[in-house]
Amino acid sequence: MARRDLRASWPQALLTLFGPLLLFFTVRWLIAEPYVIPSGSMIPTLHIHDHILVNKLAYGVHVPFSKAWIAQWSGPKRGDIVVFRFPPNPEVFYVKRAIGLPGDRVKMQEGAVLINGQPLPLAEAQAPSSDEYADESFQYFKEENHLIRYRSKTDAFADEVTVPEGAVFVMGDNRDQSNDSRFWGFVPQENLIGRAWLIWLACDFTLPSAQFLCDPKTLRWDRVLLRPQ
């Protein structure tokens, strides 16, 4: 009986073993990556324990495990929900809304955001039915095409600032309960990971043994597959 030549099967075996892992890490590095919302700074748009997918091709392609760009084809648009490395500690990831773009002059006045001296449209609105964190102490407003909320319209900064080239000014939609550019400055565009694209899972609580996994008994089905605006 002829002996089977196993040499030809080694590449196939290696591809079968490592191919799915290679595909997974390629997709995660290049196309989309999951993140879990840890705080309420983006309420009412994003809630605690919302699991989002981030479009990593929105602004360009990074060198793997680096902030350097291989190619960058655009910067954020005003209103984009961006995920980025926190400038004071790049090992931590934040999610906020892009408010000021390079060259913009940004100022707060009685709760309204002024861009180059012009206030962003701000109209009173009702609390969304999906906001389980709502109570009578909050006021809701529509700013352009998204909702924001205040507990008190206290301006975090009174001085006008100018966004430098290669940077963006970000704020949370939960305006007076957000640690954002009003307190620690601008986000360099090299810190950008991508744009929030889809809430693919949401829950009230995560598993005690794995904080990045939803407790299946507390899933919030009404938020699954929502596109954050």
User: Which entry of 39, 66, 96, 152 is annotated as an active-site residue?
Assistant: 96
- 41 catalytic, yes or no? yes
- 129 catalytic, yes or no? no
Query: Cβ(155)–Cβ(63) under 8 Å?
Result: no
Mean pLDDT of the 102-123 span: 92
pLDDT range class, residue 118, cuts 50, 70, 90: very high
Token output for 157: 């900064």
* pLDDT value at 153 more than 80: no
Residue for token digits 């180059």? Answer: 116
pLDDT range class, residue 6, cuts 50, 70, 90: very low
Highest mean pLDDT of the ranges 133-142, 172-181, 200-209:
172-181
* pLDDT value at 24 more than 50: no
Lowest-confidence region among 128-137, 182-191, 215-224? 128-137
* pLDDT value at 4 more than 60: no
* pLDDT value at 21 more than 70: no
* Beta bridge partner(s), residue 161: 106
Q: Hey, what domains does the chain have and what are their CATH numbers?
A: 31-223 (2.10.109.10)
Q: How far is CA 148 from the centre of its chain?
A: 16
pTM summary value: 0.86
DSSP line for 41-68: TTTTTS-TTEEEEEETTSSEEEPTTSS-
User: Which entry of 41, 56, 107, 181 is annotated as an active-site residue?
Assistant: 41
* pLDDT value at 7 more than 80: no
pLDDT digits 0-9 by tens, 52-71: 999 999 998 888 777 788 88
Q: How far is CA 118 from the centre of its chain?
A: 26
Q: What mean pLDDT is reported for the chain?
A: 86
* pLDDT value at 220 more than 60: yes
pLDDT range class, residue 171, cuts 50, 70, 90: very high
Mean pLDDT of the 210-223 span: 88
d(CA 129, CA 132): 8
